[in-house]
Structure 1
Amino acid sequence: MPRRRRPPRPGALADLSPSRILTQIVVLQLAYYACAAILIIFTALVAGREITTDLLFSWRSLRGDTTVGWTLGLVWVLNSLACAVFMLLLIARSKLVLDFALTIHFIHLIVTSFYAHAIPTNLFWWALQICSATIMTSLGVWACQWRELKPISFGGKASPSSTRPQGNSAGDDGVGESRGRGRGRGRDGAGEYEMVEMGEGDGNV
């Protein structure tokens, strides 16, 4: 008799699927560069500087002894804040945020090294990457945990004040005390009932 295999946990294969993880990495990396490009282009236009790809991919532009270097550093810090939002929208799991944040910065290291044909040797660049990864991880984990701990509503119930009858006069539809002839609905909503007047002798057994 063949041995029965244990069924997988719900959502385990979907969460750990290599194709899904690869897709999330590609989308996050594109969003990382797209947001950085928008911020860099806006900053360069405001400062009146020439827009080049070196501002985005070259690690030599990030220097601590120039105004351009500090401005680019601030732009990349703002970009890490925006990527925390992307983490919340695309990942939404706090235990995976650190892995994706480190992967994004590792890919960025490879891209900048190939673009500049050299491994970054600028300490300011490395310090900025550590700061960016820390901000992205901290905010991403906090946002994902806030979303995970958010109570789930399975359908609301009407408040007692909204279901309470507004009056007890004769002829009102509700569950209050009424006199005379009237119509109303039962407490369980099973159907309507009709109150009739009691004749003389109806209460005698």
Structure 2
Amino acid sequence: MPRRRRPPRPGALADLSPTRILAQIVVLQIAYYACAAVLIVFTALVAGKEVGVDLVLSWRSLRGDTTVGWTLGLVWVLNSLTSAIFILLLIARSKLVLDFALTVHFIHLIVTSLYTHAVPANLFWWALQICSATIMTSLGVWACQWRELRPINFGSKPPARQQPAAEDEGGESRGRGRGRGRDGAGEYEMVAMGEGGNNV
């Protein structure tokens, strides 16, 4: 008799499956480079500079002694701000933000080293990566925690507002028949009293 396989436990195991994590890393890395490419191409066209792959993948373009290097640095910082939105949409878990942010920058280090055939030796490049990872992690954690702490609405309707009782000229409320007391103690009923009745 074949052994019955137990169904996968819902929750953390399903969320942390290797296939899903790999897919999230690939999509996040593609979004990271796509947004950086759009920003860098737009900035280069506005500045009248020649557009090339070196502006995106070469660490030699990021220098602190040229205007182009500082402009690219600001663009990469802006890209880290935008990547926090991608983390919120793709990851949405504050505990995983640091891992994904560091993974994105580690992959960027490998891609840059393979493209230039050398490990980055520019201190400005390393400082920019540390700044970018810090911004991406901080904003990503804050955004994911804000999303996690939002109140959950189960479709319940808010209670209907009670109509105030009609008031007479003296400012006292008048009721006809049955009503509810102001203190919320329960319903009451108006009973007609005789002229000679005794008040209890």
Which category describes the TM-score, using the shorter chain as reference length? Answer: 0.7 to 0.9
Q: Which residue of 2 aligns with 1:12?
A: 12
* Aligned ranges 1:1-205 → 2 under 5 Å: 9-161=9-161, 164=163, 177=176
Residue 158 of structure 1 and its aligned partner are, at CA, apart by: 3.6
Distance 1:56 1:10 in 2: 41
SS in 1 for 2:155: coil
Q: How many residues align?
A: 167
Instruction: Report the residue type matching 1:14 in the other structure.
Output: A
Residue 156 of structure 1 and its aligned partner are, at CA, apart by: 3.0
Distance 2:134 2:9 in 1: 32
Distance 1:117 1:29 in 2: 21
Instruction: Report the residue type matching 1:74 in the other structure.
Output: L
Distance 1:124 1:100 in 2: 23
Residue 95 of structure 1 and its aligned partner are, at CA, apart by: 0.3
SS in 2 for 1:52: coil
How high is the TM-score relative to the length of structure 1?
0.75
Distance 1:90 1:11 in 2: 17
Structure 2: runs of 5+ lacking an equivalent:
167-174, 178-200
SS in 2 for 1:160: coil
Contact 2:32-2:83 within 8 A present in 1 as well: yes
Q: Higher RCO, 1 or 2 (CA under 8 Å, sep at least 6)?
A: 2
Describe the shift of the 1:150–1:118 C-alpha distance in structure 2 as closer, same or farther (beyond 3 A): same
Residue 52 of structure 1 and its aligned partner are, at CA, apart by: 0.3
Instruction: Report the residue type matching 1:149 in the other structure.
Output: L
Residue 12 of structure 1 and its aligned partner are, at CA, apart by: 2.1
Instruction: Report the residue type matching 2:105 in the other structure.
Output: H
Instruction: Report the residue type matching 1:160 in the other structure.
Output: A
Contact 2:8-2:14 within 8 A present in 1 as well: no
Contact 2:93-2:144 within 8 A present in 1 as well: yes
Which 4+ runs in 1 deviate beyond 3 A? 5-9, 163-167
Listed one character per residue, the Cα deviations across residues 87-144 of structure 1 (whole Å, up to 9, x for unaligned) are: 0000000000000000000000000000000000000000000000000000000000
Distance 1:40 1:98 in 2: 25
Residue 7 of structure 1 and its aligned partner are, at CA, apart by: 7.3
Residue 68 of structure 1 and its aligned partner are, at CA, apart by: 0.2
How high is the TM-score relative to the length of structure 2?
0.77
Distance 2:13 2:24 in 1: 15
